[in-house]
Amino acid sequence: HQKRALTLGRDVRFAPNVSFANAERIELGDGVHVGARCSLWAGKSSGRIRVGARTTLAPDCFVTAADYGLAAGRRLTELPMVERDVVI
């Protein structure tokens, strides 16, 4: 279960319908609140997400530490995935 893999500070709250991917690379600081329907998706191999203390993420927020970029004439699935850390 993804929520068990999170690194959590004290008094972290999140709505029951949030989505986490690769949660072992997600850290939520003290007093963080994650709103309804938020998605926090760390990278598959290295990209981390760190949300600092007393931060509130509004409903429907999407944060990802990985993307495919864009290249004219190439399919998204043909492009290499690029991972970078996200710090909020």
Residue pLDDT tens, the chain, 88 long = 788 999 999 999 999 999 999 999 999 999 999 999 999 999 999 999 999 999 999 999 999 999 887 788 888 878 888 999 999 9
What sign does the CA torsion over 17, 18, 20, 26 have? negative
User: What is the structure's pLDDT at 78?
Assistant: 84
Q: How far is CA 66 from the centre of its chain?
A: 9
One-letter amino acid identity for 50?
Answer: R
0.85 exceeded by pTM: yes
User: What is the structure's pLDDT at 21?
Assistant: 96
User: What is the structure's pLDDT at 2?
Assistant: 85
